[in-house]
Amino acid sequence: MSTDLILALDVPTREEAAPLLRQLRGTLKWVKIGLQMFTAHGPDYVRAVAAEGFNIFLDLKLHDIPNTVAKAVESLAPLPIGMLTLHASGGREMMAAAQKAAAQTKPDLLLLGVTVLTSTDAAGLAETGVNAPPETQVARLARLATGAGGAGLRGLVCSPLEVPLLRRELPAHIQLITPGIRPATEAGATSADDQKRTMTPAEAARAGANYIVVGRPILKAADPAAAARAIMHELMQKPESPKT
């Protein structure tokens, strides 16, 4: 199984994004547009990035009553997007309504259930009343989204640390998309970002991730295209098995 790279285009403005996209055109296929850019520039920006030849992962993490989320999916369906996120914590009914709307309006759209954010640890979960470690909550939400009797989603967003668990528990066709990725050259460095549950690209690929999402290590690189190529090269490397 191959693992593909998605750029998290988490920058403030389209003017800042433009030179990055020019440099990365032809190097990687997928770009993630999140709330920051979508709120600032709207659907037309999604169309503009797609017109430059990129596949679009629209990361809006929809979470509302089932009918509202379903209508949002219908509204987004005309856009040139390949992936769209919603919070699995919204529940089975909400996710099922979204999946039904996608099937009726854009059958090839991969809806992704977001399990536990990579910025959330056990203490953060406990503050919201979830008295379980992140991996337990991830597995619970994954089954709700994709398992037998679940909402019928075909993909999930999870920390790379939970990928081995989900690969054991879920059908092989379920697509796993993992943020919280740090290249091997940065894995041991102190980071100023908010990711708490991370892996290197090679570790995530070996664990069974279909896609990894990387932002700052590419966006802040002196040569973003070279940084992206290095990560893709790392994806093809298998780390040594841990010694027991």
Q: What are the residue numbers of the active site?
A: 61
Q: Which residues pair with 114 in a beta bridge?
A: 87, 157
Q: Which residues pair with 212 in a beta bridge?
A: 5, 178
215 vs 198: CA distance, rounded Å: 13
Q: Which two tokens stand for residue 208?
A: 């069974």
Q: Which two tokens stand for residue 3?
A: 């693992």
| Cβ burial 37-54 (10 Å sphere, 16+ → b, else e) | bbeebeeebbeebbeeeb
CB atoms within 10 A of CB 142: 25
- State the distance between the two ends of the chain, measured CA to CA, in whole angstroms: 26
Residues 76/38, Cβ–Cβ less than 8 Å: no
88 vs 223: CA distance, rounded Å: 36
118 vs 179: CA distance, rounded Å: 7
76 vs 55: CA distance, rounded Å: 15
Q: Which residues contact 104 (CB under 8 A, 6 or more apart)?
A: 74
219 vs 90: CA distance, rounded Å: 31
